[in-house]
Chains A and B, each alone.
Chain A
Amino acid sequence: SQKIEQNSEALNIQEGKTATLTCNYTNYSPAYLQWYRQDPGRGPVFLLLIRENEKEKRKERLKVTFDTTLKQSLFHITASQPADSATYLCAPLGFQKLVFGTGTRLLVSP
């Protein structure tokens, strides 16, 4: 079955550093992968989409990579800020549906 793995442990970093979150998937080859941000008590909010033929995508301080050989996507936040603290979900495309990972919680301390 399709499986998504995100680090369940929280990632703690200091303000100004680069945060790197990992999303691994197995048993399928998604045509694209989406990343979402979720704050406590709120629904997920879409951030970025990357397609299988794109190696890298950027949006302001965010960067996403997609390695179809490793079956992995990396999500980077550069110059991180306390306001970036949230849970980040990856969602590769399954069979005509998104399959969501459990998310990684990011904590950015001042």
Chain B
Amino acid sequence: DAGITQSPRHKVTETGTPVTLRCHQTENHRYMYWYRQDPGHGLRLIHYSYGVKDTDKGEVSDGYSVSRSKTEDFLLTLESATSSQTSVYFCAISESMAGGRGQPQHFGDGTRLSIL
């Protein structure tokens, strides 16, 4: 299994509080991604990173920010959590960006976030 660790694995918090999720990889892959997964929706891309300090928005980026200060760590922050952000969040890594050689993405086991 690819070395991807997400923390925390579960979190319950209140509306309006800031939340930071962490993704840590030991594979030295350049690309890292944050997705959310909700019933009735496929995995939806929030933000991704193509290198240290290089990030870009995905399709559902409103209300989220990211940072990548080291190759191995990619942080997702909800500045002021809302109930609509209750979801399961997955981090993924890949050697190349989709559109390249079709390299697979490797996923962590997710963070289940509940916002009350």
Contacting residues of chain A (54-90) with chain B, CB-CB under 8 angstroms: 89
Question: Given the interface contacts A44-B43, A100-B43, A102-B41, does A93 sit within 8 Å of B106 by beta carbon?
Answer: no
- Chain B, Cβ-Cβ closest to A94: B98
Interface readout for A23-36 with B: 1 if CB under 8 Å, 0 if not? 00000000110100
- Interface size on B, as a range, is 20 to 34
- Contact stretch, chosen from B14-22, B63-71, B79-87, B107-115: B107-115
Chain B residues with CB under 8 Å of A94's CB are 98
Chain A residues with CB under 8 Å of B48's CB are 97
Q: Which of A44, A49, A99, A102 has the most CB of B within 10 A?
A: A44
- Chain B, Cβ-Cβ closest to A96: B99
Chain B residues with CB under 8 Å of A101's CB are 42
Per DSSP, are chain A's interface residues mostly helix, strand or loop, or mixed?
loop
Q: For the complex, is A45 an interface residue (Cβ under 8 Å from B)? A: yes
- Closest approach, in angstroms, between the C-beta of B27 and any C-beta of chain A? 14
Chain B residues with CB under 8 Å of A103's CB are 42
Question: Given the interface contacts A41-B109, A43-B90, A44-B107, does A93 sit within 8 Å of B43 by beta carbon?
Answer: no
Contact B42 A43, beta carbon cutoff 8 Å: no
- Closest approach, in angstroms, between the C-beta of B85 and any C-beta of chain A? 19
In the bound complex, CA of A31 to CA of B92 (Å): 21
Q: Assuming A44-B107, A102-B40, what are 16 further A-B pairs, CB within 8 angstroms?
A: A31-B99, A31-B102, A41-B110, A42-B110, A43-B107, A43-B108, A45-B107, A46-B105, A51-B102, A93-B99, A97-B45, A97-B48, A98-B105, A100-B35, A100-B44, A102-B42
Could you name 7 residue pairs across A and B whose Cβ atoms are closer than 8 Å?
Answer: A32-B102, A41-B109, A43-B108, A93-B98, A96-B98, A97-B48, A101-B42
